[in-house]
Copies of this chain bind each other. A is one copy, B any other.
Amino acid sequence: MCLPATLESVSCQKASKGAHRLSRRTLLAGGGGAAAAAAFPATASAVRPAKHRFQDLTHVLTEGFPVFTFDPPTRETLTTIPGDGFYAQQWTLAEHAGTHVDVPGHFIVGGRLAPEITPEELIVPIVVIDISERAARDSDTVLTVDDLRRFERRNGRIPNGALVCMDSGWAAKVDDPLAYKGGPAFPDYHFPGFDLDAAMWLAERRDVAGLGVDTLSIDPGNSTTFPVHVDFLATDRYGVENLKNLDRIPPRGAVAYVGLIPLQEGSGGPSRVMANW
């Protein structure tokens, strides 16, 4: 088939190895990746999974990304295309940098570590509970059992096995570390998190896979004892921190893909998190 304006038409016109080289030159002459993207729409005619809407919930993992206590990520350029024929960087980063997962072993001796968290736990329904209006007035607010009950009255029962996320509007602050942390250094942080009772209600009554937040911690920033980390992770579930775009997916009905990197003996790790519905 040679349909106009599709890749098929390109391939119908070009069939030799020479054409491969020509197509690359032609594509890249106009400005590299952008031109290539225009000429070769990688997904335009793709057969898609049943769910057709997608949202990235992951911050770009930058040099200097705000971190709770460890050093921010750093990078160096290892090779360049002009110098070496290919480009690559090297990163030095704590397991809790950027959008990432905390696994039970982060706080619990003998708790499961990053490689032990299974795909069945990482591909799950995602639920978003919006407390952004209250958080705009009070940086120390927490998501409570009352918030969960109110959510269920409006949206129906939270499905078992879900990733239940707090949307506090905090993701918009990520480029300003002082605002994102709500203070210069621990223990002077102020940002929203989960109340312990709400976290345990979700573990015990809704058998959740994990908790997600758009802040630096599943505990609120002003906590110095980290009860959600201690008690919720002890139920053998995980937390996802530094999510974004939670206001761009439905309150329920999407599937989350939590792409935790299985770092050896990892206490967690950077994760690409995406929603599909």
Contact = CB atoms under 8 A, between A and B. Distances in A.
B96 A88 contact: yes
Contact of A93 (B90, B235, B266): B90
Interface string A93-134: 111101000001111111110011011111111000000000
A46 B161 contact: yes
Interface in A17-56: 17, 20-21, 23-24, 27-28, 31-34, 36-37, 40-50, 54-56
A140 interface: no
A230 B28 CA distance: 11
Nearest to A225: B85
B123 A209 contact: no
Contacts of A45: 160-161, 207
A71 B79 CA distance: 13
A110 B38 CA distance: 14
A42 B118 CA distance: 11
A62 B264 contact: yes
Nearest to A260: B272
Given A86-B106, A88-B268, A160-B47, A56 B118 contact: yes
Interface residues of A, number: 118
Interface stretch (A8-16, A171-179, A183-191): A8-16
A97 to B, nearest CB: 9
Contacts of A93: 90-91
A63 B123 contact: no
Nearest to A32: B110
Contact of A85 (B8, B50, B107, B159): B107
A105 B80 CA distance: 10
A91 B92 contact: yes
A5 interface: no
B106 A88 contact: yes
Contacts of A196: 17, 20
B259 A37 contact: no
A75 interface: yes
A148 interface: no
Contact of A86 (B107, B237, B270): B107
